[in-house]
């Protein structure tokens, strides 16, 4: 991304939406999936420190401008998301705060809270994660002892 942005999903199309609007939405969604697939398939070469592909070159690969890129990304979103300003060779780096990193010196994945319900669900899932692991181990042990 050229700049940090908060992106909202595209609004749902109504039943009265024109065929042209539906077709544009379909094209945006396909482009968004093509972009995600390209990034996933080429993440190793893109994150190489010698990678020289700029963001503008990346847009040229898909023959789109920045506004079309934003529409394509928004068409794949289900909820509001913060997209950080990053170079292409930084796409696999988690969000972090340099001051916290200096003090904490450990892995961190910082997310902006845009949906309080989703935040609560994340915390509950995180707390229950260890319980799920223990349950799996106990089930495996029980199966082995039978």
- Judged against a pLDDT cut of 90, whether residue 96 lies above it is answered with no
Give the DSSP letter string of 61-81: HTT--HHHHHHHHHHT-SS-E
In a shared domain, residues 16 and 79? yes
**Of 88 and 31, more confident:** 31
Structure-token match 């696999």, residue found:
92
Residue 106 CA, chain-centre distance (Å), reads 22
Regarding predicted confidence, which is higher, 48 or 120? 120
Let me know whether 33 and 53 are in one domain. yes
- The more confidently predicted of residues 75 and 134 is 75
**pLDDT score of 31:** 96
Q: Tell me the two tokens of residue 69.
A: 């890129």
Q: Which domain holds residue 134?
A: 115-146
Assign 53 to helix, strand or coil. coil
Of residues 68 and 98, more confidently modeled: 68
Q: Between residues 134 and 1, which one has the greater pLDDT?
A: 1
Question: Residues 14, 78: one domain?
Answer: yes
110-54-41-112 Cα dihedral, nearest 10 degrees: 20
State how many domains the chain has.
Answer: 2
* Together in a domain, 13 and 29: yes
What's residue 146's pLDDT?
A: 56
97/132 same-domain check: no
Whether the predicted pLDDT of 144 surpasses 70:
no
CB-based contact 4:86 (threshold 8 Å)? no
Q: What is the pLDDT of residues 20-76, one digit of tens each?
A: 888 899 999 999 999 999 999 988 888 876 778 889 999 999 999 999 999 999 999
Question: What does the buried/exposed string (b/e) look like for 5-22 if buried means 16 or more CB atoms within 10 Å of the residue's CB?
Answer: eebeebeeeeeeeeeeee
């Amino acid at each position: 991304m050229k700049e940090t942005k908060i992106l909202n999903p595209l609004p749902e199309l109504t039943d009265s939406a024109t065929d042209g609007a539906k077709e544009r939405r379909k094209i945006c969604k396909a482009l968004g999936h093509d972009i995600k697939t390209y990034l996933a398939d080429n993440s190793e070469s893109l994150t190489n420190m010698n990678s020289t592909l700029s963001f503008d070159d990346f847009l040229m690969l898909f023959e789109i401008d920045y506004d079309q890129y934003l529409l394509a990304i928004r068409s794949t979103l289900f909820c509001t998301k913060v997209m950080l300003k990053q170079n292409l060779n930084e796409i696999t780096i988690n969000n972090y705060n340099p001051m916290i990193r200096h003090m904490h010196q450990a892995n961190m994945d910082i997310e902006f809270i845009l949906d309080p319900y989703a935040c609560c669900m994340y915390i509950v899932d995180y707390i229950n994660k260890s319980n799920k692991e223990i349950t799996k181990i106990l089930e495996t042990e029980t199966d082995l002892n039978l």
